[in-house]
Amino acid sequence: QEGYELWLDYKEIQDPTVEKSYTSFLNNTEVIGNSSTIQSIKKELQLARAGFDFEDSEPNNESKLIIGVQNKLPSTLKNQINTKNLGEEGYKITTINNGNTIVISGNSEIALLYGTYGFLREMQQWNDISALNIEDKPKIQKRVLNHWDNLDRTVERGYAGFSIWDWHLLPELIKPEYKDYARANAAIGINGTVLTNVNSNALILTPHYIEKVKALAEVFRPYGIQVYLTARFSAPIELGDLDTADPLDENVKKWWKNIADEIYAEIPDFGGFLVKADSEGQPGPFQYDRTHVDGANMLAEAVASHNGIIMWRAFVYSEEDPDDRAKQAYDQFIPYDGKFADNVMVQVKNGAIDFQPREPFHPMFGAMPNTPLMMEFQITQEYLGFSSHLVFLPKLFEEVLDEDTYSNGENSTVAKIIDGTNSNKKLTGIAGVANIGTEKNWTGHPFGQADWYGFGRLAWDPYIDSKDIAQEWLKINFSNEEDFVKPMTDLLIESRETVVNYMTPLGLHHIMATSHHYGPGPWVDDLGRPEWNPVYYHKADKNGIGFDRTASGSNALAQYAKPIAEKYSNPKTTPEKYLLWFHHLPWDYEMKNGKSLWNNIALHYQKGVEQVEQMQKTWATMEQYVNEEEFEKTSMLLAIQLEEAKWWRDACLSYFQQFSEMELPTGVPEPEHDLEYYKSIERPYAPGINPSW
Ligand code: BDP
């Protein structure tokens, strides 16, 4: 099954010298201990040996790999391996004995598992291990996938088939996929998974389902992965016992406490709850005139004695506030800084609107010094062409993590807010909305795997260069040949800017078609709530285009620290990539390159199309490095991506041209069809919509 193995496909090592230097270590291994995690380590080493095809080579008895928790190492080794600074999950790979012994150690068995995967990763990349010395520990504590999976196995915003959780047949049927899912996640350091959709169903909290959740938790436990669930705020009512869900009501508190106790009795290491409340019609504390703090803290109390946490989402916006949706989460949450219980994290999307191809970082980052903020990225490509478009998302994640919030002086990057170093946060976390489904390669697009992989690597260390991640993944997944890795790394790195160019250049956002968000829909103006309509976001008219978020407009800019607010208040000093996010400007506004805004918009759309053409050309030369199935599939998907890049360009330019009334600049072809044609394109059965809301 091509692609099923993800990054745990231990391919034969084609370089004999490299191979020789590896075999003895893998064929002469001692793993100390006997627990289920230790068994998993042994199993993984076996798989690697088989995959690398080392099984038949004779071990040279001098080389040895020893894997053990520091305090269980033989006494001669104990003194040589210092694991003091590694925490619970960090590992150390040390080479001693003139290069003849490699020791993987740490303070827990899970650390050893991470160390083993780290070691195998070196081999998958054919790295020199003759003097290997690595010390690595995660910078963020809760590294979690969010599955937007419904109990009927549809996946909201999922483009890779159905949910991998087969609720119907659990707990009796344990599919091999569950274990492989755990292995793949542990290999990149993910240590938590929220199994259910944020638009949640209370049934998951009933004993019938908890038994199923328990079965999954048991598969994941040896791999260090904790299970979390989404908690529907109105569950006390829906499950039949109570007539209120008021968080200050004693019976409601008791009800949640009981539910938590019941869950923990079955799953002692249960992680806690993720909650979407008072957002897009979901129930929450507001109905009872209570606040986010009341809601979150009530649930926090229910899980506190079990070491559970609450991840309370900040994705909120209300129709009663027509001013600017981008401002609302900040306005709702900032007053509560420092008021949340110690085991609550506020989970904030990377930008203030919604997982767009590009958004400035969310102004809440840096603005709540006394509240642990958890980052929420979207790995599934809801607004970025589903799993038909190749977009390397780690580049997007990196851009956000690297932005300076100035919250604590210069160099207070978003990464430092998330990993807690900026204000000594005790609890830290990062979440990625998964792109995983029942497709045989898990993610649909063969390159979607790179986004899952890259999310995990950045969750472990938000300072890794996305280029390094791209290289690593390409080598592990396809080939170590320089002629493959180099051009393909460039392709991956550029793919993010490419999608921005052909979808939403220069700060445009949320101009996708209604509901499924696939393809362009800048003309849409008839939806129930103003802020659901693309026209609300681009505000194109005869005078110009863009959302004025300066003091003369919504003043959302005031939510950012002064250096940003000041710089971005003037279009001339606003980075052009964010121009129309913050400014409404005339079509003939002169940009840095001396050309008009209109020309620049058109040229960006055109460039996006040309970049996809280039991707196609590059890929066409890679046939010899990749297996046939993935080569063909990617080629066909790139052809779709190219057609759709043109669709985006032509639809958006025909629509905006009505207002600009300007000619297309040289180099940009006239759209093939008229605007009515583009408006009439429908995708009635596009995947990923939640049929229940
Ligand atoms: C939006 C999605 C919607 C999610 C919502 C959320 O369109 O399906 O339920 O975000 O994050 O991006 O709650």
Q: What is the pLDDT of residues 520-531, one digit of tens each?
A: 999 999 998 888
CA of 445 to the centre of ligand 1 (A): 21
Active site (annotated) includes residue 650: no
Confidence of residue 646 (pLDDT cuts 50, 70, 90): very high
Torsion sign, CA atoms 284, 286, 291, 292: positive
How many H-runs (helices) and E-runs (strands) does the chain carry?
21, 13
Confidence of residue 59 (pLDDT cuts 50, 70, 90): low
Q: Is the pLDDT of residue 692 over 90?
A: no
| Active-site annotation holder among 249, 280, 301, 461 | 280
pLDDT of residue 71: 96
- CB of 312 within 6 A of ligand 1: the answer is no
CATH 3.30.379.10 fits 6-136, yes or no: yes
**Mean of the pLDDT values across residues 269-291?**
97
Among 275, 280, 518, the mutation site with the greatest number of ligand 1 atoms within 8 A of its Cβ is 280
**Mean of the pLDDT values across residues 265-281?**
97
Q: Is the pLDDT of residue 375 over 80?
A: yes
Across-strand partners of 144? 192, 431
CB 26 within 8 A of CB 57: no
**Mean of the pLDDT values across residues 214-231?**
98
Active site (annotated) includes residue 136: no
| Active-site annotation holder among 354, 376, 398, 548 | 354
CB 417 within 8 A of CB 364: no
Instruction: For residue range 380-405, list pLDDT tens digits in order.
Output: 999 999 999 999 999 999 999 999 99
The Cα 540–Cα 534 span in angstroms is 10
Tokens of 142: 């809760």
Mean per-residue pLDDT of the chain: 96
pLDDT of residue 66: 98
Q: Is the pLDDT of residue 548 over 80?
A: yes
Instruction: For residue range 668-685, list pLDDT tens digits in order.
Output: 999 999 999 999 999 989
- CB of 198 within 6 A of ligand 1: the answer is yes
CA of 529 to the centre of ligand 1 (A): 15
Tokens of 608: 């996006």
Instruction: For residue range 562-619, list pLDDT tens digits in order.
Output: 999 999 999 999 999 999 999 999 999 999 999 999 999 999 999 999 999 999 999 9
Ranges for all domains in the chain classified under CATH 3.30.379.10: 6-136
Instruction: For residue range 446-459, list pLDDT tens digits in order.
Output: 999 999 999 999 99
Instruction: For residue range 483-533, list pLDDT tens digits in order.
Output: 999 999 999 999 999 999 999 999 999 999 999 999 999 999 999 888 899
- CB of 315 within 6 A of ligand 1: the answer is yes
pLDDT of residue 56: 76
Q: Is the pLDDT of residue 241 over 90?
A: no
Tokens of 54: 């080392």
Angle in degrees, 0-180, between the axes of helices 482-503 and 628-660, rounded to the nearest 10: 30
**Ligand 1 atom 1 nearest Cα:** 354
Tokens of 47: 């798989």
Instruction: For residue range 329-344, list pLDDT tens digits in order.
Output: 999 999 999 999 999 9
The Cα 175–Cα 177 span in angstroms is 5
Q: Is the pLDDT of residue 420 over 90?
A: yes
- CATH number for 501-547+584-680 (one of 3.40.1500.10, 3.40.50.1100, 3.40.710.10, 3.90.1330.10): it is 3.90.1330.10
Active site (annotated) includes residue 135: no
pLDDT of residue 371: 97
Ranges for all domains in the chain classified under CATH 3.20.20.80: 142-468
Among 156, 328, 514, 532, the mutation site with the greatest number of ligand 1 atoms within 8 A of its Cβ is 156
Give which of 90, 112, 121 is closest to 35, Cα–Cα. Answer: 112
**Ligand 1 atom 2 nearest Cα:** 157
Ranges for all domains in the chain classified under CATH 3.90.1330.10: 501-547+584-680
DSSP secondary structure code for residue 596 in this structure: B
CA of 394 to the centre of ligand 1 (A): 20
CA of 276 to the centre of ligand 1 (A): 10
pLDDT of residue 320: 74
pLDDT of residue 377: 99
CA of 149 to the centre of ligand 1 (A): 12
CB 66 within 8 A of CB 32: yes
Out of 435-444, 474-483, 528-537, pick the least confident: 528-537
Among 154, 198, 383, 690, the mutation site with the greatest number of ligand 1 atoms within 8 A of its Cβ is 198
CATH number of 142-468: 3.20.20.80
Q: Is the pLDDT of residue 691 over 80?
A: no
pLDDT of residue 1: 63
For residue 104, give the amino acid letter.
Answer: I
